[in-house]
């Protein structure tokens, strides 16, 4: 079994021939990726990453995860952007929604920090960690990002105060560049276990490196199955697969055909709350890859049916510049059946005996029909069930499609020059050494 893309309900706004008109551009994009001849070709390490992951590397990751799992009831994963969202997405998708409230934990609770500069967030986290047995995975490719650096300075100090410097060394793992950056220097000086993020894998394409795999293994999930799923999709979207059979190429072509027809916003929809953060990962992947040169589909997301009671109105009747891509999970992990009630005061007996998911699936179908009727083209990706294998497939599918889509659009999908603008201003405002000129200039504007 495999994830499956269905574009039928998008064909109306654009025709099949509009999609197939982009076959040549999609094939060119695939060729540029595989030959390394396109823009950003120094960041193509993700392309064959799944099939290149070795047994020894997986075993090393599992051993490091075990070390933290054995020692810690909580592991704080510190990172932001591509050094945060992949792990968060997979862990959320696979976790019991209430695991963190259970008294008996099979796995350490994985918490995140450094993904914001919220003072109250950090205060509350530090308060929670007082007296707790915790560990830290600090992730930064550049090793210089401010948000995770602040969080790490705080939590490192707290951990050393709680367990001593020597034990802290066994509870801290750093994931960073092989040679460059402040985190590399700090980790080498302190003697932490480290994992390397290869130069040619950009942050948002790094979930299948230790950036994602280590936290996912610590949380107790099967990274071998995740990688195997990605390997299967690497084959299914390979360069030798014809356009009409390559799901990544079809998805990339369809969303570009829709964009050319005036659909400027793509909403990634789920009907399963566990996929909320998967959409956050997807938004970074597509937003940072395509939003440049004043071009690019704006990636948005909603959780249905929750957001049908808020954003549903806009989607049904607002400006017709949107299309939806629905992640539809076929099979639930558990069964909950709606009971019959003799009084039937709530009038729900017409649902008695049905599974909750049956109601959810009818909500999904009803929504699809309503939105297509309302002028919102609808792509659907069926995920057989939420497990490591299919998440691995989804991850690689979206990555490959993103590379192809960026090349169809004509941008460099692998850089993110725009994210530097806020950093320069922040450093100038904070008088960071080396930003003296910028400080003067920005002060003059205030
Ligand atoms: O995609 C990207 O490159 C960014 O989102 C980075 O992942 C993010 O800024 C974190 O960078 P770093 O891992 O260098 O701390």
- Contact criterion met (CB below 8 Å) for 293 and 411: yes
At residue 104, the pLDDT reads 78
The residue whose two tokens read 């796995």 is 107
Active site residues: 288, 309, 423
Judge residue 371's burial from the number of C-beta atoms within 10 Å of its C-beta, 0-12 exposed, 13-18 middle, 19 or more buried: buried
**Which atom of ligand 1 lies nearest, measured to the CA of 197?**
13
- Residue 176, classed as helix, strand or coil, is strand
Residues (pLDDT < 50) of the chain are none
Separation of CA 414 and ligand 1 centre (Å)? 12
d(CA 42, CA 228): 25
d(CA 356, CA 271): 12
Question: CB under 8 Å to 432, separation ≥6 — which residues?
Answer: none
d(CA 387, CA 79): 24
Joined tokens for residue 423: 């950093």
Q: What is the pTM of this model?
A: 0.97
Q: What are phi and psi of 104, to 5 degrees?
A: -95, 120
d(CA 306, CA 249): 31
Chain CA centroid to CA 31, Å = 26
> How many C-beta atoms surround the C-beta of residue 356 within 10 A?
14
Separation of CA 410 and ligand 1 centre (Å)? 23
Q: Sheet holding 74-78: strands in order across?
A: 109-113, 74-78, 134-140, 172-176, 193-196
Q: Sheet holding 378-385: strands in order across?
A: 4-6, 378-385, 322-331, 265-270, 298-303
At residue 99, the pLDDT reads 85
At residue 420, the pLDDT reads 87
Take atom 3 of ligand 1 and give the residue whose Cα is closest: 203
Task: Label residues 242-268 b or e (16+ Cβ within 10 Å = b).
Answer: ebeebbbbbbbbbbbbbbeeebebbbb
- Contact criterion met (CB below 8 Å) for 152 and 138: yes
Task: Please choose from 85, 88, 137, 141 the residue to mutate so as to test ligand 1's pocket, defined by most ligand atoms within 8 A of CB.
Answer: 141
What's the Cα-to-Cα distance from 159 to each of 38, 77, 133, 237, 277, rounded to whole Å?
A: 45, 14, 9, 45, 28
Separation of CA 147 and ligand 1 centre (Å)? 11
Task: Please choose from 45, 77, 81 the residue to mutate so as to test ligand 1's pocket, defined by most ligand atoms within 8 A of CB.
Answer: 81
Separation of CA 276 and ligand 1 centre (Å)? 20
Any alpha helices (H) in 36-145, and if so which ranges?
Answer: 49-52, 55-71, 85-94, 119-129
Enumerate residues lining ligand 1, CB below 6 A: 80-83, 140-142, 145, 148, 202-204, 288, 416
Separation of CA 92 and ligand 1 centre (Å)? 20
Take atom 7 of ligand 1 and give the residue whose Cα is closest: 82
Q: Which helix (H) or strand (E) holds 130?
A: none
Q: What is the ipTM of this complex?
A: 0.98
Take atom 2 of ligand 1 and give the residue whose Cα is closest: 203
Would you give the DSSP letter of residue 78? E
Task: Please choose from 79, 80, 415 the residue to mutate so as to test ligand 1's pocket, defined by most ligand atoms within 8 A of CB.
Answer: 80
- Contact criterion met (CB below 8 Å) for 45 and 204: no
């Amino acid at each position: 079994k495999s994830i499956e893309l269905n574009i039928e309900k998008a064909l109306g706004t654009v025709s099949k021939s509009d999609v197939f008109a982009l076959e040549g551009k999609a094939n060119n994009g695939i060729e540029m990726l595989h030959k390394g001849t396109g823009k950003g070709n120094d960041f193509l390490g993700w392309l064959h990453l799944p099939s290149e992951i070795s047994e020894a590397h997986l075993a090393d990751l599992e051993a490091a995860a075990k070390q933290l799992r054995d020692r810690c009831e909580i592991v704080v994963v510190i990172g932001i952007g591509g050094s945060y969202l992949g792990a968060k997405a997979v862990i959320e998708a696979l976790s019991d929604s209430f695991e963190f409230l259970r008294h008996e934990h099979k796995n350490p609770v994985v918490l995140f920090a450094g993904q914001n500069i919220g003072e109250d967030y950090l205060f509350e986290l530090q308060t929670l960690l007082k007296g707790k047995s915790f560990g830290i995975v600090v992730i930064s490719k550049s090793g210089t990002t401010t948000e995770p650096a602040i969080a790490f300075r705080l939590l490192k100090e707290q951990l050393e105060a709680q367990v001593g410097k020597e034990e802290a060394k066994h509870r801290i793992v750093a994931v960073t560049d092989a040679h460059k950056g402040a985190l590399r220097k700090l980790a080498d000086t302190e003697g932490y276990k480290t994992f390397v993020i290869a130069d040619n894998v950009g942050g948002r394409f790094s979930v299948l490196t230790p950036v994602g795999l280590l936290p996912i293994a610590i949380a107790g999930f099967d990274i071998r199955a995740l990688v195997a799923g990605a390997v299967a999709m690497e084959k299914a979207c390979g360069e030798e697969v014809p356009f009409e059979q390559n799901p990544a190429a079809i998805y990339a072509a369809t969303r570009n055909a829709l964009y050319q027809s005036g659909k400027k916003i793509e909403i990634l929809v789920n009907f399963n709350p566990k996929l909320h953060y998967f959409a956050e990962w997807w938004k970074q992947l597509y937003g940072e890859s395509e939003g440049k040169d004043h071009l690019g589909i704006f990636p948005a997301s909603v959780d249905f049916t929750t957001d049908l009671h808020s954003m549903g109105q806009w989607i049904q009747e607002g400006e017709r510049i949107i299309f939806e891509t629905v992640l539809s999970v076929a099979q639930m992990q558990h069964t909950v059946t709606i009971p019959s009630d003799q009084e039937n005061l709530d009038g729900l007996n017409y649902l008695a005996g049905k599974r909750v998911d049956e109601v959810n699936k009818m909500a999904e179908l009803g929504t699809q029909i309503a939105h297509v009727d309302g002028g919102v083209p609808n792509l659907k990706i069926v995920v057989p069930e939420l497990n490591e294998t299919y998440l691995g497939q989804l991850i690689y599918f979206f990555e490959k499609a993103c590379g192809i889509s960026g090349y169809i659009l004509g941008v460099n999908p692998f850089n993110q020059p725009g994210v530097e603008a806020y950093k320069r201003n922040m450093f100038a405002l904070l008088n960071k050494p080396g930003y003296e000129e910028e400080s003067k200039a920005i002060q003059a504007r205030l």
